[in-house]
């Protein structure tokens, strides 16, 4: 009926995944990502797809492993404690070099925590996400439209680099409703000659496995994997710059925190404070070059986070500690107000109040 | 606009039930001495009537809501106070039901009381810009599921077709045919068409039974 639809972030992820050709969804219910599963439960049977509510998160991620081995696009979604349960499976996916899309609509932690919005799984997502040497591509949407667009992008990146791409969203992104244009998909071809699809007695067996008996072979695999990661770091970092042209003060924020920060920057500018923002869209690879460039012209940095300060370490590394980095944050499911962030900007080192 | 003593809003989740319920409660308070709004959503712990507590209480409207709404407790519990809507016949009540058939299940608890009482109406809120109720077929499917779960029939339809901040008058105008098709096929009247207050001047004379909405604040 219309070009645009009014969607919750969780629904946008589900619909975009379907548009991207995903016909296999395995999950286990948890707030605040419930609508991803609810949407899949309604839509998948109508389009010949599979929606399966597994007996646990651990079962769901292993079903993802199984389908991915056959070369099909597959996804699962959960929220913080559920992702912890899936972390063993995430490591196995990495060890077997299998593509998958995993969604984490975070809640406050640690432990069972709470259901209100949080960004406290930044470490878990960007530093691997399970045991062993590995990375996931981590995408951080800041609007319902990006929930859709980055889902499509995530599937493409996962297939191209044979690894897990994670959508790291928060409860607000999952629950809020905004107009969305469902992305038009250009069909891309990816090499899936490694998939276990039956040899038809016509080719050598493919083997999908994360166990290596010979240490030398396991080392070779690790080195090969990290060469791939190097190419990703070189090519795939995405970020948005906001009012950075003449900025003296550089804010760094992602997801819902970036939206609040934008509003605070506009207020700061009215007071004559030249603030700007770098919003990482990929949290891994982290937009290191953009930050290093900003360190050449900005006097001071601050991250705005819904946690106790996690991304702040990556900012310090990216700018080689050349400038002071301050933390403006709330935790436990509370979003800072634009006024709070503005006060934080006013108190940045070398800032107006100092 | 005239309403029964008990006005129940149900529909697909995200169709705008809570916003409409809050606005209708304020509307009723202008002419009725005692008005309550009961939030019996057992599905979604977010975007609750609780978010409007301050303005409701300022207007003297009694809010009946789960003590857990807006907290970290994700528990489908309802307060015993909800029985006031059927027991206290001097009370004018707006009932905000949770989304879809799962949400409507809660209504089953009050079905007998409501049926015996008689002075109620149950309105299906529809929005053609929501992906799972984009056409009359899918909206009627959701409607049938809700009626089966609640064990109660709808008495009318509310057309709340909107696309958030992007809504233009033509979007509301073009949705009229959608709402009328749902009504025709369900054999129900179109109770009202809701739109944010700023749009009303552009719709007057073109659409009947308009009801202006004041929207809750949200994050930009």
Task: Tell how strand A164-170 and strand A249-252 pair up.
Answer: unpaired
Contacts B72 to A, Cβ<8 Å: 108, 113-116, 333
Q: How many whole angstroms separate alpha carbon A50 and alpha carbon A48?
A: 7
pLDDT band at A2 (very low <50, low <70, confident <90, very high): very low
Q: Which of A278, A269, A321 is nearest to A303 (CA)?
A: A278
Average pLDDT for chain A: 95
Q: What is the mean pLDDT of residues A173-193?
A: 92
Q: Which of B91, B89, B94 is nearest to B56 (CA)?
A: B94
In angstroms, the first-to-last Cα distance of chain A is: 56
Domain map (residue ranges) of chain A: 4-193+222-235, 240-346
CATH number of B6-213: 3.40.50.300
Decide if pLDDT at A297 tops 90: yes
Which chain A residue is nearest to residue B218, measuring alpha carbons?
Answer: A176
* Chain A CB within 8 Å of residue B134 CB: yes
Q: Is A282 helix (H, G, I), strand (E, B) or coil?
A: strand
Distance from CA of B118 to the nearest CA of A (A): 34
Residue among B72, B129, B165 whose CB faces A5 most closely: B129
Taking an 8 Å cut-off on Cβ atoms, the answer to whether A179 and B220 are in contact is no
Please, are residues B23 and B56 in contact by the beta-carbon 8 Å criterion? no
* Chain A CB within 8 Å of residue B130 CB: yes
* Chain A CB within 8 Å of residue B56 CB: no
Tens of each residue's pLDDT in chain B, 220 residues = 899 999 999 999 999 999 999 999 999 999 999 999 999 988 887 878 888 999 999 999 999 998 877 777 778 888 889 999 999 999 999 999 988 898 999 998 889 988 888 899 999 999 999 999 999 999 999 999 999 999 999 999 999 999 999 999 999 999 999 999 999 999 999 999 999 999 999 999 999 999 999 987 654 4
Class of CATH domain A4-193+222-235: alpha beta
Taking an 8 Å cut-off on Cβ atoms, the answer to whether A8 and B14 are in contact is yes
Q: What is the mean pLDDT of residues A273-286?
A: 98
Q: How many whole angstroms separate alpha carbon A324 and alpha carbon B9?
A: 54
* Chain B CB within 8 Å of residue A106 CB: no
CATH architecture of A240-346: 3-Layer(aba) Sandwich (3.40)
Contacts A31 to B, Cβ<8 Å: 45, 74
Q: Is A238 helix (H, G, I), strand (E, B) or coil?
A: coil
The vertex-A52 CA angle with A1 and A28, nearest 5°, equals 100
Which chain A residue is nearest to residue B174, measuring alpha carbons?
Answer: A1
Write the pLDDT tens digit of every residue in A119-133: 999 999 999 899 999
Q: Which residues of A321-331 are buried (b: 16+ CB within 10 A; e: fewer)?
A: eebebbbbbbb
Taking an 8 Å cut-off on Cβ atoms, the answer to whether A2 and B129 are in contact is yes
Contacts A333 to B, Cβ<8 Å: 72
Q: How many whole angstroms separate alpha carbon A280 and alpha carbon A153?
A: 15
Burial class (CB in 10 A: 0-12, 13-18, 19+), B137: exposed
Enter the pTM of the model. Answer: 0.93
Please, are residues A326 and A346 in contact by the beta-carbon 8 Å criterion? no
Q: What number of other Cβ atoms are within 10 A of residue A353's Cβ?
A: 8
The contacts of residue A346 (CB under 8 Å, 6+ apart) are A268, A271, A273, A352, A353
Contacts B129 to A, Cβ<8 Å: 1-2, 4-6, 179
Q: Phi and psi at residue B179, in whole multiples of 5°?
A: -65, -40
The contacts of residue B88 (CB under 8 Å, 6+ apart) are none
Q: Which of A289, A353, A293 is nearest to A323 (CA)?
A: A293
Please, are residues B49 and B19 in contact by the beta-carbon 8 Å criterion? no
pLDDT band at A351 (very low <50, low <70, confident <90, very high): low
Can A4-193+222-235 and A240-346 be said to share one CATH topology? yes
For an interface test with B, which of A2, A6, A181 has the most B Cβ atoms less than 10 Å from its Cβ? A6
The contacts of residue A157 (CB under 8 Å, 6+ apart) are A137, A165, A232, A236
Write the pLDDT tens digit of every residue in A194-213: 999 999 999 999 999 999 99
The vertex-A163 CA angle with A158 and A167, nearest 5°, equals 60
Please, are residues A216 and A89 in contact by the beta-carbon 8 Å criterion? no
Taking an 8 Å cut-off on Cβ atoms, the answer to whether B129 and A15 are in contact is no
Taking an 8 Å cut-off on Cβ atoms, the answer to whether A5 and B134 are in contact is yes
Q: What is the ipTM of this complex?
A: 0.89
Taking an 8 Å cut-off on Cβ atoms, the answer to whether B74 and A176 are in contact is no
DSSP lists the bridge partners of residue A100 as: A164
* Chain B CB within 8 Å of residue A340 CB: no
Q: Where are the beta strands (DSSP E) in B44-189?
A: 62-64, 92-97, 120-126, 156-159
Which chain A residue is nearest to residue B175, measuring alpha carbons?
Answer: A1
Distance from CA of A313 to the nearest CA of B (A): 28
Taking an 8 Å cut-off on Cβ atoms, the answer to whether A179 and B165 are in contact is yes
Burial class (CB in 10 A: 0-12, 13-18, 19+), A20: buried
Longest Cα–Cα distance in chain A = 75
Q: What is the DSSP string of A32-51?
A: TSHHHHHHHHHHGGGGT-EE
Radius of gyration, CA atoms only, chain A: 21
């Amino acid at each position: 009926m219309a070009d645009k639809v009014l969607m919750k972030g969780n629904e946008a992820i589900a619909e975009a995944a379907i548009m991207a050709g995903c016909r296999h969804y395995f999950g286990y219910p948890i707030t605040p990502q419930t609508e991803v599963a609810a949407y899949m439960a309604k839509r998948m049977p109508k389009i010949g797809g599979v929606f399966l509510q597994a007996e646990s998160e651990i079962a769901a991620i292993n079903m993802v492993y199984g389908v991915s081995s056959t070369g099909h696009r597959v996804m699962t979604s959960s929220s913080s404690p559920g992702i912890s349960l899936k972390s063993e499976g995430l490591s196995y996916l990495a060890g077997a070099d299998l593509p998958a899309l995993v969604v984490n609509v975070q809640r406050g932690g640690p432990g069972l925590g709470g259901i209100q919005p949080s960004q406290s799984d930044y470490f878990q997502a960007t530093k691997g996400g399970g045991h062993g040497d590995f990375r996931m591509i981590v995408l951080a949407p800041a609007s319902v439209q990006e929930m859709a667009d980055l889902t499509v992008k995530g599937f493409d990146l996962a297939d191209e680099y044979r690894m897990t791409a994670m959508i790291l969203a928060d409860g607000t992104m999952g629950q809020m409703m905004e107009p969305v244009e469902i992305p038009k998909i250009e069909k891309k071809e990816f090499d899936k000659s490694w998939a276990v699809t039956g040899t038809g007695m016509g080719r050598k067996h493919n083997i999908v496995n994360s166990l290596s008996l010979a240490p030398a072979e396991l080392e070779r695999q690790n080195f090969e994997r990290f060469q791939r990661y190097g190419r990703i770091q070189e090519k795939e970092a995405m970020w948005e710059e906001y009012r950075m042209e003449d900025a003296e003060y550089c804010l760094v924020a992602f997801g819902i925190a970036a939206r609040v920060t934008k509003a605070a920057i506009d207020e700061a500018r009215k007071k004559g404070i030249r603030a700007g923002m770098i919003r990482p869209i990929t949290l891994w690879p982290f937009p290191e070059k953009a930050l290093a460039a900003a360190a050449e012209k900005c006097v001071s940095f601050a991250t705005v986070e819904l946690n106790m300060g996690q991304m702040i370490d990556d900012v310090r590394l990216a700018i080689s500690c050349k400038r002071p980095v301050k933390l403006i944050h709330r935790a436990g499911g509370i979003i800072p107000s634009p006024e709070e962030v503005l006060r934080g900007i006013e108190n940045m080192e070398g800032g107006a109040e100092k | 606009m005239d309403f029964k003593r008990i006005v129940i809003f149900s529909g697909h989740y995200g169709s705008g039930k809570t916003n409409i319920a809050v606005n209708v409660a304020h509307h009723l308070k202008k002419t009725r001495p005692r008005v309550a709004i009961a939030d019996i959503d057992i599905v979604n712990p977010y975007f609750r009537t609780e978010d409007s507590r301050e303005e409701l209480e300022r207007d003297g409207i009694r809010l009946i809501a789960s003590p857990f709404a807006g907290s970290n407790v994700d528990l489908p519990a309802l307060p015993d106070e909800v029985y006031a809507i059927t027991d206290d016949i001097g009370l004018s009540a707006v009932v905000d039901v949770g989304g879809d058939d799962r949400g409507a299940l809660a209504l089953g608890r009050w079905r007998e009381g409501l049926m015996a009482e008689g002075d109620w109406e149950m309105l299906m809120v529809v929005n053609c810009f929501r992906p799972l109720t984009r056409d009359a077929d899918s909206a009627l499917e959701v409607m049938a599921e809700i009626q089966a779960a609640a064990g109660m029939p709808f008495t009318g339809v509310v057309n709340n077709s909107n696309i958030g901040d992007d809504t233009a008058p033509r979007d509301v105008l073009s949705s009229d045919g959608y709402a009328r098709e749902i009504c025709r096929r369900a054999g129900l009247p179109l109770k009202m068409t809701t739109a944010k207050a700023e749009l009303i001047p552009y719709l007057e004379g073109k659409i009947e039974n308009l009801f202006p909405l004041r929207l809750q604040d949200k994050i930009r």
